[in-house]
Amino acid sequence: MSSKKLVVLLLIIGFVVGVWIGVFFSSTPTTKETILQLVEDIIPSTRGLTRITVGLDRTTIMLSGACRTVSFDITNDQAYSITQGLYNQTPVRPLTHDLLHDVFDNFDIRVKQIQIDRYEEEVYKAHLYLERNDSSVELDIRPSDAIALSLRENVPLYMNTTVLETQGTKTC
């Protein structure tokens, strides 16, 4: 585990313990649900989501998890950007996703979570969750951009479990 990940993990654990201690010593009665809500405000819930891995065959994306695979076609430019992220390669000139990665780094913006959460009118839809200081924002994002960003930001990619089950093909 890298030292950066260890520091983040220790900060999260410290915060959760601090919240628990504060709740324990406060005079207001608390419930398990209250504590869980406090934790969910810090760590996005993955309830109803499945962590997926990314595969690429030319311009066909394959998203796999829980013995299911969802495939869809993307453009050559999108495939190139995802390939760069998959193999941790840096192009001579930055691509849009590399630029976004640099903006996030320079402005201390943290990608909290990326998820593909809907399939509507034969199109997959995704959301990007960002955090800076005490502010959070949820943004609509194309799945191909979500994949390219998740690879550059080293953030797990999630898919709505129901979407994966209904749109994916069984692989095991």
pLDDT value, residue 13: 65
**pTM of the full structure:** 0.73
Rounded-to-integer distance, Cα 4 and Cα 1, Å = 8
**Phi, psi torsion values for 86, nearest 5 degrees:** -60, -40
What pLDDT does residue 41 have? 54
pLDDT tens string, the chain, 172 residues long: the values are 666 666 656 656 655 555 555 544 444 455 655 555 544 555 578 899 999 999 999 999 999 999 999 999 999 999 999 999 999 998 899 999 999 999 999 999 999 999 999 999 999 999 999 999 999 999 999 999 999 999 999 999 999 999 999 999 999 9
Give one word for 128, left, alpha or beta, with left for phi > 0 and alpha for psi -120 to 50. beta
Q: What is the pLDDT of residue 90?
A: 87
The pLDDT of residue 58 is: 96
Tokens representing residue 99 in the block: 């630029």
Greatest pairwise CA separation for the chain in angstroms: 60
pLDDT in tens, 138-154: 999 999 999 999 999 99
Contact 162, 96 (CB under 8 A): no
Task: Dump pLDDT digits (tens) for 92-117.
Answer: 999 999 999 999 999 999 999 999 99
Give the per-residue pLDDT at 27. 46
CA distance 155 to 148: 11
